[in-house]
Structure 1
Amino acid sequence: MVIATPPVSTMSRFVTSDGVGLAVELRHPEGAPSLLFAHGFGQTRGAWNAAATALAQEGCRCVSFDTRGHGESDRLPGGDYHMEQFVSDLVQLGNAQPSRPVLIGASMGGLIGLVVAGEIDPSLFRALVLVDITPRWETAGVERILAFMQAHPDGFADYAEAAEQIAAYLPHRAGRKSEEQLRPLLREGADGRLRWHWDPALLGGVVSESERYQPRLMAAAAKVQVPVLLLSGGRSDVVSRDTVGEFMQLVPHAEHVELPRATHMVAGDANDAFTREIARFVRSLA
């Protein structure tokens, strides 16, 4: 089913068991199947806008959200972030859906999905789509991302400066982000400078402990029983042939599709191909 008019998105607030409010966006509430989008570290639900809109137009119920400490979701006053909190949030959101959702998780979102599906609740998700992430990743690629995130602690004087820095970080992208595109990604501080939407405390919590979770993530992946699609970028420096090969041994029933022109930012680099592959995979589940 293809909807003639693009579905209008609606916003709501989902309050977790520990009182954290998450910003949740819903497209096509009556659609099916249900797709739950979990973004990567340092991103927002906006990373899924084009894909979620297109898939909602195909008839899917699309739910995206800002992870705690990101975007319009609440930050923790003490800044004490840990993986278990993100896992719990995803479980609660998954259980809140009217039917078993297909999880589409990019980077951090995909890793949290692996823990849920392989360790916490094997039946919560109908299937998993992992976007350019494997239980063991290439450290150099992640370090490059973190270096960019840590590079501007004092923020930017204006949107033009932020756009210039993003363009330098993503030189393969044509054009620069407009002020309208940047507004959801930046917050204006009391000093008038623009800083990233995510809580700086995340860099000392979730990130500092991430690599020690790799054995746990690999063990969880080996227990996943639902259908799995791994979408990787051919130009990614976060996953590689080695990490993908290792993942396929852990999850032999998984399907792997490489989008050759995409980097780690798969949805942003090759959204049309990305959306087509998800739509195909979702149709195959029926």
Structure 2
Amino acid sequence: MPIVFVHGTRFSAGQWSTQVAALHDEFPVTAVDLPGHGERTAEPWSLSAATEIIASAVGALDRGPALVVGHSLGGYASLEFARQRPDRLRGLILAGASASTRGPWTAPYRWVTRLVPRIPADRLARWNDQLLRRLYPPHVVEATIRSGYAFHTLPAAWDEVLGRFDAGAMRHVKAPVLILNGEKDSLFRAGESDFARAHPRARVELIPRARHLANFDAPDAFTDAVRRFARQLLADD
């Protein structure tokens, strides 16, 4: 069964280097760059384009419907993929993407989308490089750092996502769902119970002591959760 990883805000396919390396012997696996990110930095953002990129990645693996793993922005893009292309989805993992993007709590994120373009991109990149290198070992984050950051795409991406998704989006997902959150990611796991209740084949799993970037905080535990869910999908066939 193929596995397609979809990165989060400002990152790229490099976010998943550890997971791809650990899983490729057992599964056909790939990671995509969303529009405006990584090698697609010049492409304009849209959820529709993101959906087509995910669908193309599933098709390129040529092994039928895929398990799609989406983190944060990539999780919401994966929910849209699940709605538009249910025939291409075997299972869905939402990581750090089980909070409603509607309501007053989103106001700080709208403020950030207006603030980011006012800060020079090279300064934002230096801050991100320093933060990642301080928090994580090189083998976990160097591929992300090499690929650069898509700050120029952040306003358009979150302007489209904010106001669009809540637990009701789970009704459009026809495949089993694992809601995989960092235990300490209090913001983006805020709606996990609502998201799980909205789907008859969804369950929640927490990565102990991990935060929003759970696949960086605990790469082995994150990979193991993906592997177990993929094996479960195969066993249920």
- Corresponding residue to 1:198 among 129, 150, 171: 150
| Contact 1:82 1:206 (8 Å CA) reproduced | yes
CA spacing shift, 1:64–1:179, aligned 2, 3 Å: closer
> TM-score, length-normalised on structure 1?
0.69
> TM-score, length-normalised on structure 2?
0.82
| Contact 2:8 2:70 (8 Å CA) reproduced | yes
Q: Please, which moves more after superposition, 44-53 or 173-182?
A: 173-182
Q: Which amino acid aligns with 2:28?
A: R
Q: Does 1:62 align with 2:29?
A: yes
User: Hey, what's the Cα distance between the residues in 1 that align with 2:138 and 2:59?
Assistant: 39
CA spacing shift, 1:94–1:220, aligned 2, 3 Å: farther
Q: Which amino acid aligns with 2:159?
A: S
| Contact 1:75 1:199 (8 Å CA) reproduced | no
Q: Does 1:89 align with 2:50?
A: no
Q: Which amino acid aligns with 1:198?
A: A
CA spacing shift, 1:273–1:211, aligned 2, 3 Å: same
CA shift for structure 1 position 142: 5.1
| Contact 1:44 1:67 (8 Å CA) reproduced | yes
**Identity between Structure 1 and Structure 2 (%):** 23
For the aligned residue pairs, the C-alpha RMSD in angstroms reads 3.3
CA spacing shift, 1:178–1:94, aligned 2, 3 Å: closer
Question: Alignment partner of 2:174: what SS?
Answer: coil
CA shift for structure 1 position 174: 5.3
Q: Does 1:101 align with 2:101?
A: no
Aligned to 1:184: 146
CA spacing shift, 1:36–1:206, aligned 2, 3 Å: same
Alignment deviations for residues 153-211 of structure 1 (CA, whole Å, 9 cap, x no partner): 1514996x6543x25xx97x25689996575143xxxxxxxxxx3261x2332222322
Within 5 Å, give how 1:243-262 maps onto structure 2.
243-262=191-210
Question: Alignment partner of 1:209: what SS?
Answer: helix
Alignment deviations for residues 127-166 of structure 1 (CA, whole Å, 9 cap, x no partner): 111111125156378579869966841514996x6543x2
CA spacing shift, 1:158–1:233, aligned 2, 3 Å: closer
Aligned to 1:6: none
Q: Does 1:113 align with 2:75?
A: no
Question: Alignment partner of 1:207: what SS?
Answer: helix
CA spacing shift, 1:261–1:74, aligned 2, 3 Å: same
Aligned to 1:228: 177
CA spacing shift, 1:40–1:277, aligned 2, 3 Å: same
User: Hey, what's the Cα distance between the residues in 2 that align with 1:174 and 1:275?
Assistant: 16
Gaps of at least 5 residues in structure 1 are 1-32, 187-196
CA spacing shift, 1:39–1:141, aligned 2, 3 Å: farther
Deviation >3 Å, runs of 4+ = 137-152, 156-159, 161-164, 174-183
Q: Does 1:53 align with 2:21?
A: yes
Aligned to 1:19: none
Q: Please, which moves more after superposition, 225-234 or 175-184?
A: 175-184
- Corresponding residue to 1:268 among 189, 213, 216: 216
User: Hey, what's the Cα distance between the residues in 2 that align with 1:103 and 1:181?
Assistant: 20
User: Hey, what's the Cα distance between the residues in 2 that align with 1:232 and 1:238?
Assistant: 10
| Contact 1:69 1:198 (8 Å CA) reproduced | yes
Q: Which has the larger radius of gyration?
A: 1
CA shift for structure 1 position 95: 3.0
Gaps of at least 5 residues in structure 2 are none
Q: Greater share of helix residues, 1 or 2?
A: 2
Question: Alignment partner of 2:87: what SS?
Answer: coil
Query: Bigger relative contact order, structure 1 or 2, given CA contacts below 8 A and separation 6+?
Result: 2
